[in-house]
């Protein structure tokens, strides 16, 4: 089955700096890669996703990149704000719609 | 269109009792996933279901745990004879399924406490 690894497990940045979270996956058949943000006491919220036919996708301050050959994908947050502080999860899904998550990254943005 | 609804939000059970967690997927979604999350930890896959079918239950303990997603009604995660180690947040997510149409959305979770 699919195995997703995520790094780093914790990340602390100064407000205004950029944050990068990286994930690797094992199943070359995976073709859909969503990112979720989880705030304390809440369910994970889908913030951006990318499909295997696209190398990069951007939505305001967040962007995702995908390298299919190397089987890794990354989340980039620019101009970070304190409200970006949360736990971020990457996931990978294949044609069978089976979804597996990385272990999560706790991002802290210091004002 | 309401989001994924989980109930109850909080559930307290004594050791040995049964816990039933319900998940109503978003309208039009026929795929449901259940995950377990311990404090300060990630989302551990438990089971993936489509209507009336269990597709992948490789993450679910073989004993005491079962899941169903009937033709009508919510998906149910059932834990029999709960033990303290079952205390966790249980999240479900739903998606419409289908090739290249796979956005999955989560509910707010059920926090199970076994006393």
Give the pLDDT band of residue B39 (cuts 50, 70, 90): confident
Task: With CB atoms and an 8 Å threshold, state whether A97 touches B102.
Answer: yes
On the question of pLDDT at B73 being above 90, the answer is: yes
Name the residue with tokens 């950029």: A18
Spatial distance between the Cα atoms of A53 and A64, rounded to a whole number of angstroms: 13
In chain B, the residue whose alpha carbon lies closest to the alpha carbon of A53 is: B100
Q: Among residues B56, B47, B22, B43, which one has the least CA distance to residue B88? A: B43
Distance from CA of A72 to the nearest CA of B (A): 19
Distance from CA of B101 to the nearest CA of A (A): 9
On the question of pLDDT at B1 being above 60, the answer is: no
In chain B, the residue whose alpha carbon lies closest to the alpha carbon of A48 is: B103
Distance from CA of B97 to the nearest CA of A (A): 6
The tens digit of pLDDT for each residue in A9-63 reads 999 999 999 999 999 999 988 999 999 999 998 999 999 999 988 899 999 999 9
Give residue A36's pLDDT. 97
In this complex, the residue of A51, A89, A102 whose CB is nearest that of residue B100 is A51
Spatial distance between the Cα atoms of A5 and B95, rounded to a whole number of angstroms: 23
3-state secondary structure of B24: strand
Q: Which residue has the higher pLDDT, B81 or B41?
A: B81
Cα Dmax for chain A: 43
The string of DSSP letters for B72-106 reads: SS-EEEEE-S--GGG-EEEEEEEE--STT----EE
The tens digit of pLDDT for each residue in A63-110 reads 999 999 999 999 999 999 999 999 999 999 877 778 899 999 999 999
Strand order from edge to edge, sheet including B5-7? B5-7, B19-24, B75-79, B65-68
CB A66 within 8 A of CB A54: yes
Burial class from Cβ neighbours inside 10 Å (0-12, 13-18, 19+) for residue A10 reads: exposed
In chain B, the residue whose alpha carbon lies closest to the alpha carbon of A2 is: B45
In this complex, the residue of B58, B91, B95 whose CB is nearest that of residue A97 is B95
The three-point CA angle B22-A89-A82 to 5° equals 110
The tens digit of pLDDT for each residue in B12-33 reads 999 999 999 999 999 989 999 9
């Amino acid at each position: 089955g699919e195995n997703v690894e995520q790094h780093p497990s914790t990340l602390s940045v100064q407000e205004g700096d950029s944050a990068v979270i990286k994930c690797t996956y094992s199943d070359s058949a995976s073709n859909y890669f969503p990112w979720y943000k989880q705030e304390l006491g809440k369910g994970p919220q889908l913030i951006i996703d990318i499909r295997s036919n696209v190398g990069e996708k951007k939505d305001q301050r967040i962007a995702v990149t995908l390298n299919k050959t190397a089987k890794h994908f990354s989340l980039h947050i620019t101009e970070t704000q304190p409200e970006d502080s949360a736990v971020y999860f990457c996931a990978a899904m294949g044609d069978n719609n089976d979804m597996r998550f990385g272990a999560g990254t706790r991002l802290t943005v210091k004002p | 269109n309401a989001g994924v609804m989980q109930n109850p939000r909080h559930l307290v059970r004594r050791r040995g009792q049964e816990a039933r967690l319900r998940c109503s997927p978003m309208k039009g979604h026929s795929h449901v996933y259940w995950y377990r999350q311990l404090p300060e930890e990630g989302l551990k896959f438990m089971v993936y279901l489509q209507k009336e079918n269990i597709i992948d239950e490789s993450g679910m303990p073989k004993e005491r745990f079962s899941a169903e997603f009937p033709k009508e009604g919510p998906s149910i995660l059932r834990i029999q004879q709960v033990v303290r180690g079952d205390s966790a947040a249980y999240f479900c997510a739903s998606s419409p399924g289908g090739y290249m149409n796979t956005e999955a959305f989560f509910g707010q979770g059920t926090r199970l406490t076994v006393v």
